[in-house]
Amino acid sequence: MRWRKTSRRPALPLAAQYIAAMLTSIPAVMLMDRIGRKAGFMIATLFGATIATLAIARSEFWFYLLATVLIGIFNGFGSYFRFAAADAAVEEKKSRAIFYIMAGGIVAASVGPNMANLTRDWLYGVEFAGSYATVVSFYVLAFFIMAFLKIPRPLAAV
């Protein structure tokens, strides 16, 4: 099904993204418990934005809906960044590590919409394809940064 700008389904992709994040949070913990947080976060960066760029460029609504689900899966994993930061920091710097993660989220909340507006027409002459391509670059950057981080496995509950 082709997606037109006049489509009456603008809320469905966003709802799918949030539902996917919600449904992923517990399986994400279970996976990261088995393979480690670093590997889990790196796997999570591989989801979503690439096919969202293609879906928008091709005007394929259902393909875009799948992409938003995959982005939601990434968000389900990403909600555990603050716990990984706290576990990786020495005791006296745990609160600072959590602060940096939370501050990064606040910065992202203001930079993200501005980046979307600045890059919305960069690719294919299709509105917002460039925005998702920019998200891909952020995911790639996050992947490589995480490759060099030392994130310890969570301690077993006492």
Under 8 Å between Cβ of 116 and 137: no
Question: Which pTM does this prediction carry?
Answer: 0.80
Percent of the chain with pLDDT over 70: 90
How confident is the model over 55-75, as pLDDT tens digits? 888 888 899 999 999 999 999
Ordered structural domains, the chain, with CATH: 11-147 (1.20.1250.20)
Confidence band for 158, pLDDT divided at 50, 70 and 90: very low
Question: How far is Cα 25 from Cα 31, in angstroms, rounded to an integer?
Answer: 10
Look at 1-15, 47-61, 81-95, 136-150 and tell me which has the smallest mean pLDDT.
1-15
Question: How far is Cα 63 from Cα 116, in angstroms, rounded to an integer?
Answer: 20
Question: How far is Cα 90 from Cα 20, in angstroms, rounded to an integer?
Answer: 33
Question: How far is Cα 16 from Cα 142, in angstroms, rounded to an integer?
Answer: 23
Is the four-CA dihedral 79, 136, 27, 10 of positive or negative sign? positive
Confidence band for 47, pLDDT divided at 50, 70 and 90: confident
Task: Find the angle CA(52)-CA(29)-CA(68) to the nearest 5 degrees.
Answer: 15
Please report how the helices 11-35 and 61-78 are oriented relative to each other, as an axis angle in degrees rounded to 10.
Answer: 40
